[in-house]
Amino acid sequence: MNAVGRSILGNALFVAAVLFTGTALAAGSITIIAPKDGAVLPSGSGNKLVYNVMLSPEGNHLHVYIDDDNPIIDHQVSGCPCTLDLPDLAPGKHVIAVKEATVSHVLTGVQAQVTVRVR
């Protein structure tokens, strides 16, 4: 491929990347602010999940999973950062996942997760 062909291909890839990034941002996002990945939490009550969410066009609410147990359904999705009291967690390692769901509880794929240890 000559220099002109590489330049055209490079420009096309740049435009595609910009378009893809714009679509990804509009598609929705979840960011867990606290606890941080790898955090050590005290056992018992008082632990909180703090997050930011931008629902995708299909999103309606969130499912919060702790170690793949039945989800906590959370409709607090505006005015974030949002806070959710975590249930008492037993000592050990836990995965906390926040996943976007449609009105009929189908997961959209927009999600975030952290792994924490409870002492």
CATH architecture type of domain 28-118: Sandwich (2.60)
What's residue 26's pLDDT? Answer: 57
Question: Which amino acid makes up residue 51?
Answer: Y
Question: Which amino acid makes up residue 2?
Answer: N
Nearest to 97 by CA among 56, 64, 55, 72: 64
What's residue 1's pLDDT? Answer: 59
What's residue 118's pLDDT? Answer: 96
Residue 83 vs residues 5, 62, 105: alpha-carbon distances, Å? 52, 12, 21
* 89 touches 118 (CB < 8 A): yes
CA separation for the pair 86, 45 (Å, rounded): 7
Q: What is the dihedral of CA 67, 26, 108, 47, to 10 degrees?
A: 20
Nearest to 87 by CA among 104, 103, 71: 71
The pLDDT tens digits along the chain (119 residues) read 554 444 444 444 443 444 454 444 458 999 999 999 999 999 988 999 999 999 999 999 999 999 989 999 999 999 999 999 999 999 999 999 999 999 999 999 999 999 999 99
Structure tokens at 15: 């435009």
Give the list of residues 6+ apart from residue 26 with CB closer than 8 angstroms, or none. 56, 57
